[in-house]
Structure 1
Amino acid sequence: MEHGKEVLASLRGVYKRYGALAALDGVDLDLHAGQVLALLGPNGAGKSTTIGLLLGLLRADAGQVRLFGDDPQQLSARRNIGVMLQEAQLPETLTVAELLRLSASYYPMPRAVDECAALVGIEDLLQRRYGRLSGGQQRRVQFAVAICGRPRLLFLDEPTVGLDLPARQRLWATVRTLVGEGTAVVLTTHYLEEAEQLADRICVMLRGQVVSDGSVAALRARVLVRAVRCQSQLDVAQVGRWPGVRQAQREGDRLHLACDQVEAVVRRLLAADPDLSALEVKPAGLEEAFYDLTHPHAQAA
């Protein structure tokens, strides 16, 4: 079956409650081979519960969860996944090479240690003890551990937290290589530019439901918000209260606005600040679209 078409994992009509809290409320979701799915949403939206169900760590109250056509708690299904969690506890006394060999031993057709190290760019760390590495180096090793088993489905939870820009870009390049080989990737990240860089699909969750599922372009297209940027000394808090302004932020001498009444806001900006300059109006980026979907006014709508 063609990459991008084959469904490797799915949720169908899934419900999950924690007491009175509905963590998932009838969620349907497919994960496709050769595709990066960015799972986004504010805290409490249901992302962690969704991943916990797919990893076999949780049981659904109702609905069906399938991993490679099987129950996610079956070992045969879990041998086809790799996981990089936001926090990981690995044996600190082992060298990186020992960690990779140990992790690879759990999989039927793992990558060789040297191949895995070269793919991630940690050849120089192989003989060093894990506990003596910096936080960024440990993050890179955790990524290597996640992919050493040649997973068909890879879960990445905030993978670039603690990484500098070159290491982040190297991880992105490796993810693209894996996707080109047919691996499916589920990415959770608070760096929206990371989702924009990597994801083929953006799935936005809110209060236990999927409120948007499609490409970055499709997500932008479904909102009326536009990004307005300019150089101005106007008070950002005051501008944020203007009609038509959804969000207002300042970076140095620049204002960054998300607006749904662009013409009216631009006229008011020019009238309020005769010295305003470097005015830009752009279609909504992922940040503006995400804000529009998850902000309280959108929820009410």
Structure 2
Amino acid sequence: MEETAMALIRLNKVSKTFSQGLFQGFSEKPVLENIDLTIHPGEFLALKGKSGAGKTTLLKIILGLLEPTSGEVQLMGLSPHLPESKTRIGVVFQEASLPENMTAKELIQLVRSYYPDPLSTEEVIRAVNLTDEEQNTWATQLPGGGKQRLYFGKALAGKPALLILDEPTRNLDEDAYKEFWRQVARCRERGVTVLMVTHSESDLNRLNQLATRIVTLHKITEAPASGQLSQQILRDTPAATPVPAESIEMEPSLVPSQLQRFTTLFKQQLWAEGLQILRTPTFLLGILFFAGFSAFLPGQGDSAKQAILSFGGILLLTVAIDRLGKRVAVERRDRWSRFLRSTPLPPAIYLAVKICTTLLVCAVSLLLILVLGGGLHQVQASIGEWILLFLSLLIGVIPFALLGLGLSYLIDPKSYDAVAGLALPIGLSTSGAFPLSKSSFVQDLVAFSPFFHYQQLTLWAAGLEGYDQHIWLHILWLLWASIVFGLATAWAYRRDQAVQ
């Protein structure tokens, strides 16, 4: 092999130990110990082992989805936590999930946008033989064989030099199983390097004809003295075009195109999120229906303005904390977020799009509340005053959207509804709108709540009684809360990556 060729995967003394909970006495369970593994271009490596040996754990570490306890990992010559390390990688997971309310063609269009030099949508469709009918079918409703072709289409969209397959034949019907191996054979004909994890005997029969190496991962308690990995070389590695290390680096002259790519990524992700919302009528209509209740609020004049203000604030906080966090929690539960982390999509773009779509939903809902409530209840205010109130309510909710995002990564997805449901009562009780106690100590504590400063900001914008004449203090406090919640969200995202 030429010296310019780079190892696609390199593991050096990688170990992983999991901390166990209360019922296991807070003990530690080692799964991987001092794993050394290198995969070069052109190889087809099959990784097998008993259930529980740590195969999927090792794969997650390779992809940067899980942090090793110790050791060094390189993917395409880079840290696997960098999005740039995944620009030439395609992945098919063992338990794959697909987003709701997107056709197969739309999903391919979305996934290919994550890569700097992808195949066209038509090239992907031809490569995996999706029929016209399958292209326009909801991705989640494709039959077994069609769904398997779509999984491969996602993996091939970025012109991968390396294909990583995690027990991809598990639970496949006969047609899907045959389709899987047809796709693998086509990838090998194109010179794609393959790492496939399996413990299926039927897979091993086929791998004996295709693989260059079969590596066995032994359970740590059953490993021989030589280590957890043992290997069998089946055939020489066919010649492959090496991937030079310098091909990953970005030349300074390419910075504008990189910025353009980030813009494209943002637009495509925003388009996908928008489709999800527009095609989820229960979510959208529920929020708009709730906003429509502003027409039935009591009072006239300033009393009606106070009711509209409170009603709008409650709706926006519900969308920002409860609904936004719930959407992310569902994506974590369904493992769609895991797939996104295996692509070059930068986490900052993913999170920014979540915030933007939330603000768009809030803006539409708030506009409906102000138009219906203000018009029907004869609230006297100039256009400038309405705009100020609209912007104060909308911009002021940003720190709470960041809070919802952070909670979605800290809380188990199955428990998110229960925990997030407490946020609104806590917010109302600490906003100062309903005094909890006349105690000065309690009042001082309330002054530390970002909900209190949000309420004061909106009272200032509405020109209502109760405003304490410290607008810059409230603006700076909300800005500080945004920074704190933003940093906490980034930490929670990395923590989720380390412990999942």
TM over 0.5: yes
Deviation at 1:181, TM superposition (A): 3.3
Cα separation, partners in 2 of 1:98 and 1:118, compared to 1, 3 Å: same
Spell out the pairing of 1:85-104 with structure 2 (5 A cutoff).
85-104=93-112
Cα separation, partners in 2 of 1:183 and 1:6, compared to 1, 3 Å: farther
Aligned equivalent of 1:7: 7
Any conservation in 2 of the 1:97–1:126 contact (CA below 8 Å)?
yes
SS in structure 2 of the partner of residue 144 of structure 1: helix
Any conservation in 2 of the 1:15–1:24 contact (CA below 8 Å)?
yes
For residues 131 and 40 of structure 2, what CA distance do their matches in structure 1 show?
Answer: 31
Spell out the pairing of 1:256-267 with structure 2 (5 A cutoff).
none
Aligned equivalent of 2:64: 56
How many aligned residue pairs are there? 217
Deviation at 1:167, TM superposition (A): 4.5
Structure 1 length as normaliser, TM-score? 0.66
Post-superposition CA distance 1:29-88 (Å, at most 9, x none): 011211111110001212112111110011222211101111100011022211111112
Any conservation in 1 of the 2:146–2:176 contact (CA below 8 Å)?
no
Cα separation, partners in 2 of 1:43 and 1:119, compared to 1, 3 Å: same
Post-superposition CA distance 1:223-254 (Å, at most 9, x none): xxxxxxxxxxxxxxxxxxxxxxxxxxxxxxxx
For residues 180 and 209 of structure 2, what CA distance do their matches in structure 1 show?
Answer: 12
* Larger RCO (CA under 8 A, 6+ residues apart): 1
Cα separation, partners in 2 of 1:18 and 1:95, compared to 1, 3 Å: same
Aligned equivalent of 1:116: 124
Which of 208, 214, 217 is matched with 2:232 structurally? 214
What amino acid is the match of 2:162?
L
What amino acid is the match of 1:89?
S
Deviation at 1:180, TM superposition (A): 3.8
Matched, 1:175 2:159: no
Deviation at 1:147, TM superposition (A): 1.4
Deviation at 1:192, TM superposition (A): 2.0
Aligned equivalent of 1:251: none
Q: Percent identity between the aligned chains?
A: 37
For residues 49 and 146 of structure 2, what CA distance do their matches in structure 1 show?
Answer: 28
Post-superposition CA distance 1:5-31 (Å, at most 9, x none): 741111011111113221111110011
Deviation at 1:210, TM superposition (A): 3.3
For residues 52 and 195 of structure 1, what CA distance do their matches in structure 2 show?
Answer: 22
Spell out the pairing of 1:127-276 with structure 2 (5 A cutoff).
127-165=136-174, 167-189=176-198, 190=200, 191-208=203-220, 209-216=227-234
Structure 2 length as normaliser, TM-score? 0.41
For residues 144 and 173 of structure 2, what CA distance do their matches in structure 1 show?
Answer: 11
Cα separation, partners in 2 of 1:210 and 1:51, compared to 1, 3 Å: same
SS in structure 2 of the partner of residue 193 of structure 1: helix
Any conservation in 2 of the 1:156–1:187 contact (CA below 8 Å)?
yes
Q: What's the Cα RMSD here?
A: 2.4
Aligned equivalent of 2:33: 25
Any conservation in 2 of the 1:136–1:162 contact (CA below 8 Å)?
no
SS in structure 2 of the partner of residue 7 of structure 1: coil
What amino acid is the match of 2:44?
V
Deviation at 1:2, TM superposition (A): 5.9
Larger helix proportion of the pair = 2
Larger radius of gyration: 2
Any conservation in 1 of the 2:47–2:215 contact (CA below 8 Å)?
yes
Structure 1, gaps ≥5 residues long: 219-301
Structure 2, gaps ≥5 residues long: 20-27, 221-226, 237-500
Post-superposition CA distance 1:145-182 (Å, at most 9, x none): 11111112211122233445554344324323323433
SS in structure 1 of the partner of residue 57 of structure 2: helix
